[in-house]
Chain A
Amino acid sequence: MITVVRAGPLTTVQDQGRPSYAHLGVPRSGALDGRALRRANTLVGNPSDAAGLETTLMGCTLRFTRAARVAVTGAVAVVKLDKEPVSGVIEVPAGSVLEVGRATRGVRSYVAVRGGIDVEPVLGSRSTDTLSGLGPPKLADGAELDVAGPCEADLPDLVDDIVIADEVELGVWLGPRDDWFAGNELFENPYQVSPMSNRVGCRLTGEALRRVRRDELPPEGLVLGAVQVPADGQPLIFLADHPTTGGYPVIGVVDDVTPLAQARPGSTVRFRALH
């Protein structure tokens, strides 16, 4: 059992999400930085689909009733066990308190516990979906979490944590609606990550993208990483909790959204064309 001593502003249970329900309006959800959660799971001996915790900027503090093996990945943050700094694979004795500190680089830390966080799966996933409300609620101070028993499974290879940079360069496939826009402005100007960003999407501010077509786009299916451009011309890149259909044109699709999970408000985003 884990008691949440300090939940932080947005700490949620996440696994690799709930794909294949998009046609029913169910977002995919899952860890925004799926690579960091997989790494944390591997470090503690979990299969890659085990559920862990995703924190946002301010970390969280957890008290462990029983001894546990824990790993913290993702954002750069000081991790303390009973007030002493620790790193790597952490053996937590029964009764100890683990504190994941404020992110000094990046945004989101991932906490994996051997066995995985055991909440009731919803449509095959333990992820909290902040858009639709499916899955467990976000953690609150005083909440209690169960840990599942360790399971024997083929372990994924240890993946590298991404390098967290102040500038993010994203590869983009143009389309499906790039012909609604003038020229190649997306690749010519840098953008800044807006503080309005969340698990649904990363909002950018910068030079407005000019449309050559003004008509309404009938709603159509959206993919992870879609760069949607609303009427004001400021792009929004859809992340894990994105809606499954939308009515604004998508100029292109980002090949890998993982760096955006760790992009702080104000960081610079540049786009590079993929062919």
Chain B
Amino acid sequence: MRLRRAGASALLIECRDGDEVEAWRRLVTTRRDAGDLQVIDIVPGARTLLLDGVAPGTDALLAAWPPPSPATSAPAEGALVEVPTVFDGDDLADVAGLWRLSAEATIARLAATEFTVAFCGFAPGFAYMRGHGLTVPRLDAPRPRVPAGSVGLAGEYCGIYPTASPGGWRLVGRTSSSLFDVRREPPALLTPGTRVRLVAA
């Protein structure tokens, strides 16, 4: 773990991998809820955790804590959300080809994966989910419009578009689940740390 400054009132915790980010996210959230830490936003990234709106001296406070160990923290702590998914995406055959699997085996692999939301970004409610253990390159040119509810893969992540938008992820399926609703608390269905299963519908 290494601390980097991000302005007068923010710190970036740099981690080895996504597991360490998740371990730090849980620790920092627990400490904030217990009143040990003052922070406005806790924003996980792929390899970092941003603490925005911290008090002076927070860097010393973090350095004094025993670092969380991903190996000893419970892997299945977050809520489990099942997302009914129709696996008929336009890029399913391409993904199967990249993975050297049949389309059926590709779907089976995705449906058998327990994903964890690593971080959000790009749009409100867009979650970067880890867990399928393979990577997929982005499309060379993004599609001008990806329909809301599209399930896509890019890099090591799986994501679901909350609203229609341009996008370069390879589409493997779709869901009618509501990913983001401002009348809900929290408004995002898939929040950092949430476990997710794409259940074939």
Interface residues, chain A, with chain B CB atoms under 8 Å away: 19-26, 122-123, 132-134, 173-177, 218-223, 225-226, 243-246, 250, 253-255, 274
Partner of A23, one of B44, B47, B126: B44
- Best-buried of A173, A176, A220, A245 by chain B (most CB within 10 Å): A220
B122 A23 Cβ-Cβ under 8 A: no
User: Can you name the residue of chain A whose Cβ is closest to the Cβ of B49?
Assistant: A221
Question: Nearest Cβ in chain A — how far from B199, in angstroms?
Answer: 23
25 contacts between A and B (CB under 8 A): A21-B124, A22-B52, A23-B41, A23-B119, A23-B120, A24-B180, A24-B187, A25-B121, A175-B5, A175-B6, A176-B6, A220-B45, A220-B47, A220-B48, A221-B6, A221-B48, A221-B50, A223-B7, A225-B7, A245-B43, A245-B45, A245-B119, A245-B122, A253-B7, A255-B7
Q: Which residues of B contact A226 (CB under 8 A)?
A: 6-7
Q: Which residues of B contact A20 (CB under 8 A)?
A: 40-41
Interface residues, chain B, with chain A CB atoms under 8 Å away: 4-8, 10, 12, 40-50, 52-53, 119-126, 128, 163, 180, 182, 186-188, 191-192
Tell me the dominant secondary structure on chain A's binding face: loop
Complex CA distance for A121 and B163, rounded to whole angstroms: 20
B182 A24 Cβ-Cβ under 8 A: no
A25 B7 Cβ-Cβ under 8 A: no
User: Can you name the residue of chain A whose Cβ is closest to the Cβ of B162?
Assistant: A25
A19 B40 Cβ-Cβ under 8 A: yes
Question: Nearest Cβ in chain B — how far from A83, in angstroms?
Answer: 41
Q: Which residues of B contact A133 (CB under 8 A)?
A: 163
Complex CA distance for A269 and B45, rounded to whole angstroms: 30
User: Can you name the residue of chain B whose Cβ is closest to the Cβ of A244?
Assistant: B121
B182 A253 Cβ-Cβ under 8 A: no
A24 B44 Cβ-Cβ under 8 A: no
Question: Nearest Cβ in chain B — how far from A95, in angstroms?
Answer: 36
Q: Which residues of A contact B7 (CB under 8 A)?
A: 173, 223, 225-226, 253-255
Complex CA distance for A24 and B47, rounded to whole angstroms: 17
Complex CA distance for A7 and B188, rounded to whole angstroms: 33
Question: Nearest Cβ in chain A — how far from B41, in angstroms?
Answer: 4
Partner of B41, one of A22, A122, A175, A219: A22
- Best-buried of B40, B45, B47 by chain A (most CB within 10 Å): B45
Task: Give the 4 A-B residue pairs with the shortest CB-CB distance, closest first.
Answer: A221-B50, A253-B7, A245-B121, A220-B45
Q: Which residues of B contact A253 (CB under 8 A)?
A: 6-8, 10
Complex CA distance for A218 and B44, rounded to whole angstroms: 11
Question: Nearest Cβ in chain A — how far from B200, in angstroms?
Answer: 27
Question: Nearest Cβ in chain B — how far from A239, in angstroms?
Answer: 14
Beyond A176-B6, A219-B45, A253-B8, 5 additional contacts (C-beta under 8 Å) are A19-B41, A22-B52, A175-B5, A221-B12, A225-B7
Question: Nearest Cβ in chain B — how far from A22, in angstroms?
Answer: 4
- Best-buried of A176, A225, A226 by chain B (most CB within 10 Å): A176
